[in-house]
């Protein structure tokens, strides 16, 4: 297996809600080691796609393979244990527990593989920039620090692939710069990343390739520069 082999393969995946095809026959592949972007106007199906990848939703049709294993239909915690973790758009930290405890409880998802040693929790907190906050109640963290914690919780599963759900949304320009560096550092550690994101500067700075969705279908795919110059994509955003 080469480093460019697809780690995640999505084939003709669809999800309907009643009569609405929120995601309609989407196919894509994500190579090991890349940062892959999913962009598109509001309501285009990005969150629905992400929810199917993480097991929060079961596809109506199609196949999702992670490292060769068909994962559509598996429970979210089983997908996480296979090495595919995610962050949530609305941060889901437990405010009364300390920062370190929040990471430790996430690691319980690893089930029979056991918890995470205190040293590796500390290492994860340093990685996301929360090295000094381990004993603080998570509820005391600022917004960006809660996002860092959310990421540390995902990383506690030792994933090979992390799904980032608008992880950079709501950050100020300085925080955005730090956040972009943090995501790049995850790739440097060999973690494959799929990011749903509205911040186009971040897409340009980080993504090797991306797809653009509109009304449930992929309307463009390629490098960020390629897709953001595509007239079809520009029209789709203007119609938002
Ligand atoms: P995006 O993340 O790109 O904003 P979503 O995946 O959230 O798009 O939504 C795609 C479409 O599916 C929208 O029209 C949305 O209203 C609809 N939708 C999403 N979730 C549900 C649901 N649980 N029930 C019914 N419709 C939904």
- 212, part of any domain: yes
pLDDT per position as a tens digit, 83-113: 999 998 777 788 999 999 999 888 665 543 5
115 CA distance to ligand 1 middle (Å): 35
| Residue 43 Cβ contacting ligand 1 at under 6 Å | yes
48 CA distance to ligand 1 middle (Å): 6
- 224, part of any domain: yes
| Residue 47 Cβ contacting ligand 1 at under 6 Å | yes
The total of structural domains in the chain comes to: 1
pLDDT at 114: 54
pLDDT per position as a tens digit, 147-160: 999 999 999 988 99
Nearest by Cα to 150 from 107, 102, 186: 102
Q: Name the residue at shortest CA distance from atom 25 of ligand 1.
A: 17
| Residue 192 Cβ contacting ligand 1 at under 6 Å | no
pLDDT at 101: 92
Q: Which atom of ligand 1 is nearest to the CA of 45?
A: 6
- 1, part of any domain: no
Per-residue b or e along 97-109, where b marks 16 or more CB atoms closer than 10 Å to that residue's CB: ebbbbbbbebbeb
- 61, part of any domain: yes
52 CA distance to ligand 1 middle (Å): 12
pLDDT at 162: 97
Q: What is the CATH number of the domain that holds 164?
A: 3.40.50.300
Residue 168: domain span:
6-238
- 70, part of any domain: yes
Q: Which atom of ligand 1 is nearest to the CA of 47?
A: 2
pLDDT at 4: 64
| Residue 44 Cβ contacting ligand 1 at under 6 Å | yes
Probe residue for ligand 1, chosen from 42, 43, 44 as the CB with the greatest number of ligand atoms within 8 Å: 43
- 187, part of any domain: yes
Strand intervals (E) in the chain:
6-17, 20-31, 35-39, 61-66, 69-70, 84-86, 161-165, 192-196, 209-214, 217-222
Strand, helix or coil at 188? Answer: helix
Q: Name the residue at shortest CA distance from atom 18 of ligand 1.
A: 22
Q: Name the residue at shortest CA distance from atom 21 of ligand 1.
A: 17
Per-residue b or e along 128-156, where b marks 16 or more CB atoms closer than 10 Å to that residue's CB: bbbeebbeebbeebeebbbbbbbbbbbbb
The one-digit pLDDT tens for each residue of the chain (240 residues) are: 445 679 999 999 999 999 999 999 999 999 999 999 999 999 999 999 999 999 999 999 999 999 999 999 999 999 999 999 999 877 778 899 999 999 988 866 554 355 566 678 999 999 999 999 999 999 999 999 999 999 999 999 889 999 999 999 999 999 999 999 999 999 999 999 999 999 999 999 999 999 999 999 999 999 999 999 999 999 998 776
Q: Quick one: tokens of 186?
A: 């995850």
| Residue 87 Cβ contacting ligand 1 at under 6 Å | no
Q: For the complex shown, is ipTM > 0.90?
A: yes
């Amino acid at each position: 297996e080469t480093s460019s082999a697809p780690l995640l393969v999505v084939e003709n995946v669809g999800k309907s809600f009643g009569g609405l095809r929120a995601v309609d026959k989407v196919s894509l592949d994500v190579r090991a080691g890349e940062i892959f972007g999913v962009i598109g106007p509001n309501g285009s199906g990005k969150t629905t796609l992400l929810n199917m990848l993480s097991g929060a939703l079961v596809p109506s049709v199609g196949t999702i393979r992670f490292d060769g294993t068909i994962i559509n239909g598996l429970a979210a915690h089983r997908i996480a244990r296979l090495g595919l973790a995610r962050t949530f758009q609305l941060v889901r930290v437990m405010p009364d527990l300390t920062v370190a405890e929040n990471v430790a409880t996430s690691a319980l998802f690893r089930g029979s593989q056991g918890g995470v040693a205190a040293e590796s929790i500390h290492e994860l907190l340093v990685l996301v920039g929360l090295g000094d906050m381990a004993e603080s109640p998570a509820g005391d963290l600022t917004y960006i620090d809660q996002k860092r914690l959310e990421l540390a919780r995902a990383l506690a599963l030792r994933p090979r692939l992390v799904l980032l759900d608008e992880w950079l949304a709501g950050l100020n320009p300085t925080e955005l710069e730090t956040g972009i560096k943090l995501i790049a550092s995850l790739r440097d550690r060999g973690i494959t990343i799929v990011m749903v994101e509205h911040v186009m500067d971040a897409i340009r700075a980080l993504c090797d390739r991306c797809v653009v969705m509109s009304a449930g279908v992929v309307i463009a795919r390629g490098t960020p520069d390629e897709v953001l110059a595509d007239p079809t994509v520009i029209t789709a955003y203007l119609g938002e």
